[in-house]
Amino acid sequence: MQRVDDLITRKTSLPENIITLCRFLRSRGMPIGPQDEADALNALCVMPFDAPENLRLTLRAILVKSRPDMLRFDELYGVFWSELEKAQDAKIVQDESESAAQKEEGPPKPSLKSLQNWLYGNRTEETEEVAAYSPAEVLTKRDFSTFSEDELQEVMKIIAVIARSLANRYSRRYKKRNSGQLDIKRTIRSNLRRGGDILDLLHRKRKIHRFKLVVLCDVSKSMDLYSKFMIQFMYAFQASFRRMETFVFSTGLHRISDVLQTDGLREALNALERIPGWSGGTRIGESLQEFNETYGARFIDDRTIVLILSDGWETGDMQPLSSSMEYLQKKAARIIWLNPLAGNPEYQPTVQGMAAAMPYIDVYAPAHSVDSLRQLVHHLARSGKRRFS
Amino acid sequence: MKNTELNKIASMLASQGYITEASIVMSTFLAMKLGKPLLIEGPAGVGKTEIAKVMASALETDLIRLQCYEGLDATHALYEWNYQRQLLHIKLEEESGKSVAEKEATIFSEDFLLKRPLLQAITHPKAPVLLIDEVDRSDVEFESFLLEILSDWQVTIPEMGTIKANHIPHVVVTSNRVRELSEALRRRCLYLWIDYPDYTKELAIVMGKVPNINKRLAEEICHFMQELRQQKLEKTPGIAETLDWATALAELHFAHLEKDMIEQTLGVVLKDWQDIRQTSMSLSELYERMGVRSKIG
């Protein structure tokens, strides 16, 4: 039986409590390192103690590293101190009779449960989750729709990890070479008229060839799940593209790039659920048309890759779909259409909508499993090479 | 917040006309005390750059600014040799009979070095405030380069050797979140998010910066701006826009907001034609809600 005993014992000194707080926040996914812990303790020495609010402000300034973390910190900070109080009391009870203490508490709210587990030194679910990473291999080939609720959480995590490492590799592909190297030919030519002295140095202009990416995700009932995975996956690629815009559509079009950027993935996924008409029917053609009219001129140019995720079940008229696909094909560098159903070998893209869009698509690929998302990176990279090398 | 040093920063900010919040003062204070870079994020026009200016005047030192843009590279940020001047010098010295080594020593000396912001900051006689503005616009490669400088505080110039910082500058980094910054950079900094001001703060800013404005007009403008920011806009207006608008309307001697007037001057606040079109269409509703707000508040 493994117990983290030092966490349960009553902490009387502030530094110890702060370290506990840091470890707690870290276990909630905030990136807090030893350096931050040291900074927090250092700050205690310079921090004025005359207002109770100062401690929170100080720790917030030091431990928070991004806006999503800031929202999380604000949420967890109060929870921590009040639970710490309880944990200290609970420990006393626990010493007397361990099982009795847990029964008395009653079933805690789910958000608090893990904290309590953690504070009381119980073996947390987390440790078990980490252990479950190894059989991940099996998970990567399965269709998302076959996963149970528990497994979905797991897959979400795996996707985040894979996406991050792929994104790093992808950005490296675009590392600029020869920056600032002399262009000898042009230098000599332009200096000839000055009598041969090399006065002006001409440098080779480095090519900046990074693409912009527009992601359009179908969130109608049949596509809801796949879109969430897709957004989760592409989120890691934010820094790899010069610009990335994310839209979702069902019966209407919504831009979610701003929420993604400022409040992070978690908030964005929550916000998705609140969109009216979420998981309703699909009007692909009209949504794409709306996109072209409202954002087309601003976001689409010949260095933009358009990524559409949809099963092509158009419930409306076909005409808007083909005309807006034609527009996109003319203006964008490349169109990648991902269809989760394409993973099924028996499926033929004969759905009316899919058939209407097909002539304008550069890459048609499945997106139903972790492996197929991994493949997507190759498509993104290749589309860069073919047109601009 | 009674501490004297905290107070000093708060009053410093106030005397620069900067209306502040406790979290901003605390972060600025800690960044100065712990000697860590301060990363400030937030929407455009909320006064991120101002913090650096206030810090410089609070510390009575110079502000050195590095404006980032796409394609910015190490030479533009660190140093360049003044090649033309070196060449001229060699020509002049041709007859002097000095040895090659001597000549080389002169042309690769500090006189011929063009210091760019980062080197300026390192060699400054007193620890300056170094403002690295809009770092999200620079490339990922430049960000890693920056990281190196921010941790070592030394620059190696092959012809001259390594220059170590006299003092470690106070660094303020700002970002508009055009691109996600690397974890490594974030880890090195203290983080501060500045949001659009709430009504009370915005009113204080308007009253402070537009001295001859009618109080009722100022209140209504701020209520309207708060409502406007609730709308789904392409370019949400910042404080700068509020101030421009307030100044314009005060100049025209209006006592309070009228619907026609808003419609005619909307271009001061909104800079995107779709936003203007959309807002003019829902103006009646906005105007009404502003009225309700004014009555409550």
Same domain, A196 and A221: no
Domain of residue A183: give its range.
179-207
Q: With 0.95 as the threshold, say if the pTM is over it.
A: no
Identify whether A154 is part of a domain. no
**Residue A262 shares a structural domain with residue A192:** no
Question: In the 8-state DSSP scheme, what is residue B155?
Answer: E
Q: Find, in chain B, the residue whose alpha carbon is nearest to that of A256.
A: B232
Q: Which residues of B touch A46 (CB under 8 A)?
A: 30, 33-34
HSE (side-chain half, CA atoms, 13 Å) at A331: 18
Q: Does B6 touch chain A (CB under 8 A)?
A: yes
Judgement on whether residues A105 and A194 belong to the same structural domain of the protein: no
Q: State residue A180's pLDDT score.
A: 58
Domain assignment present for residue A263? The answer is yes
pLDDT at B211 over 80: yes
Do residues A183 and A233 share a domain?
Answer: no
Question: Which residue, among B26, B228, B295, has the nearest Cα to A49 in the 3D structure?
Answer: B26
Question: Shortest CB distance from A175 goes to which of B6, B87, B141?
Answer: B141
Let me know whether A365 and A296 are in one domain: yes
pLDDT at B275: 85
Per-residue pLDDT of chain A (389 residues; tens, 9 = 90+): 444 444 444 556 788 888 999 999 988 888 898 989 999 998 888 887 777 788 899 999 999 998 888 888 998 998 888 888 777 666 555 555 444 444 444 444 444 555 555 555 544 344 333 333 334 455 666 777 777 767 777 777 777 777 776 666 655 544 444 445 667 777 777 777 666 666 677 766 554 456 788 999 888 877 877 888 888 887 877 767 778 899 988 878 888 888 887 777 777 777 777 776 666 677 888 899 999 988 888 889 888 889 998 888 877 788 889 899 999 998 898 898 988 888 777 777 677 888 888 889 888 888 887 777 777 777 776 654 344 32
Q: Which of A46, A173, A299 to mutate to test the interface with B (most CBs of B within 10 A)?
A: A46
Structural domain boundaries in chain B? 4-70+116-193, 79-114, 199-296
Identify from B72, B139, B181 which residue to disrupt to test chain A contact, counting A C-beta atoms within 10 A and taking the largest count. Answer: B139
In a domain, A24, yes or no: yes
| A201 and A323 fall within a common domain | no
Indicate whether B39 pLDDT > 90: yes
ipTM, two decimals: 0.79
Mean predicted confidence (pLDDT) in B134-148: 86
Give me the number of domains chain A comprises.
Answer: 3
A145 domain residue, yes or no: no
pLDDT digits (tens, 9 = 90+) for B230-266: 887 878 898 889 999 999 999 888 888 888 888 888 8
Domain boundary among A162, A191, A207: A207
Asked, for residue A255, whether it belongs to a domain, the answer is: yes
- Say if A359 falls within a structural domain: yes
In angstroms, the Cα distances linking B198 to A254, B195, B238, B240 are: 26, 9, 12, 14
Q: Which CATH number fits domain B4-70+116-193: 3.40.309.10, 3.90.850.10, 3.40.50.300, 3.60.15.10?
A: 3.40.50.300
CATH number at residue A324: 3.40.50.410
Statement to judge: residues A203 and A217 lie in one domain = no
In this structure, are A201 and A328 located in the same domain? no
Residue A167 CA: distances (Å) to CA of A159, A164, A290: 12, 5, 30
Asked if residue A357 and residue A287 are part of one domain, the reply reads yes
Phi then psi dihedrals of residue A10, to 5 deg? -65, 125
Residues B156, B162 contacting (CB under 8 angstroms):
yes
Do A218 and A363 belong to one domain?
A: yes
Query: Is A105 in the same domain as A192?
Result: no
Contacts of B35 (CB under 8 A, 6+ apart): B168, B170
Whether A166 is covered by a domain: the verdict is no
A169 lies in some domain: no
Nearest residue, CB atoms, A197 vs list B31, B87, B192: B87
